[in-house]
A = this chain, B = another copy of it.
Amino acid sequence: MDNFTFYSPTFFVFGKKTEEESGARVRQFGGNKVLIHYGGGSVVKSGLLDRVKKSLQAEGLGFVELGGVEPNPKSSLVYKGIELARKEKVDFLLAIGGGSVIDSAKGIALGVVYDGDFWDFYEGKGVTQALPIGVVLTIAASGSEGSGDSVVTHEKGMYKRCADGDILRPKFAIMNPEITCTLPAYQTASGITDIMAHCMERLFSKTKDCEVTDRLLEAIMLTMIKEGRRVMADPQNYEGRANIMWAGTVAHNNITGVGRQQDWGTHHMENELSTTYGCSHGAGLAILFPAWMKYVYKLDVPRFVEFAVRVWGCQMNFENPEATALEGIEAFKNFVKSLGMPTTISEIGGKEADIPALAKSMFHNSPNHGSFLKLNEDIVQEIYRLAL
């Protein structure tokens, strides 16, 4: 196990009706003038935005609003948010939404207190300060409610890049699983896949002897398999939604990932798919993870056998462990397929001729990807082809 630090000072408020505490929590963490950031229709139509505003008003907090965040959030809205926040002298950001909204809010939080271009932080500049952020979560997926990461797409060239630092961890995250009961099946399935992928990016590591984090990652994946099936069959099931929501946070606040090298190559390859074809991040991961696993499993067969046996309940083939490893990869693929996810690039409209450009874009100003297997453009092209 490698040396590490771990710091997760987010105050999690979990359960039914907890959005009614939004105002009190902003107050608790020192906010006075709030920028409410959100996406579009559902937050408004469901009445959630109104309930949160009512809660802010009850605390006597001032606020302005900025909606319109799209999936795979764009830099243009971040620039707009920075301008608005400065003009209105905002001192707290409240994201109502999922990963896209939270990540957009994190971009604004970085930009407001920085003299240069906020995009610098997405090109590698160290993150040291940001406005405080709170979250009212509407989908279990990204884990951004408890993480210090933010992924934004720059419209000039459509590059999706990541900034990270503990200062970006939300001060609080309000998590009411009821809100997720009305999500469309495709979004639910995308979220489930993303949460599984957050575990797998950590599980497939070159660092040996991390039994505790291995087991914690397996715990989250086992939960997702059981509860994922449950909510796909019965979307209104509160208990299933609740288990998935908390699992999504634990999967990505990094308590499950400390002390070990992590990979993240598949996430980076995925960024190109969602940016190019507009698929959900989860769908792109469903397509690419089986391909990546097939490409790399021979580097550490026992690790993939362990994944097959412990997570997917495959029977160990003692005479031919590789067969068990492949069975585990197939089990993952069948699982995400059963959720309704695509498992080939063709299904989302991609074709072989696109592949060189996808691989090239991934390495634009960003040379390092993967650690279980260090990636280069040729390898990435091969993996994309395996996923066609």
Contact = CB atoms under 8 A, between A and B. Distances in A.
Interface string A315-346: 00000000000000000000000000000000
Contact of A212 (B208, B243, B259): B243
B8 A4 contact: no
Contacts of A220: 212, 215-216
A247 B215 CA distance: 10
Interface in A193-235: 208-213, 215-216, 218-220, 222-223, 226-227
A2 interface: yes
Contact of A14 (B6, B177, B215, B223): B6
A118 to B, nearest CB: 26
A18 interface: yes
Interface in A2-42: 2-16, 18
A239 B209 contact: yes
B8 A8 contact: yes
A246 interface: yes
Contacts of A222: 215
Interface residues of A, number: 42
A270 to B, nearest CB: 25
A2 B250 CA distance: 17
The residue among A18, A177, A220, A246 with the most chain B CB atoms within 10 A of its own CB is: A246
A239 B15 contact: no
Nearest to A213: B246
A227 B216 CA distance: 14
A48 interface: no
B3 A212 contact: no
B211 A227 contact: yes
B5 A13 contact: yes
Nearest to A310: B222
A255 interface: yes
Interface of A: 1-16, 18, 177, 208-213, 215-216, 218-220, 222-223, 226-227, 239, 242-243, 246-247, 250, 255, 258-259
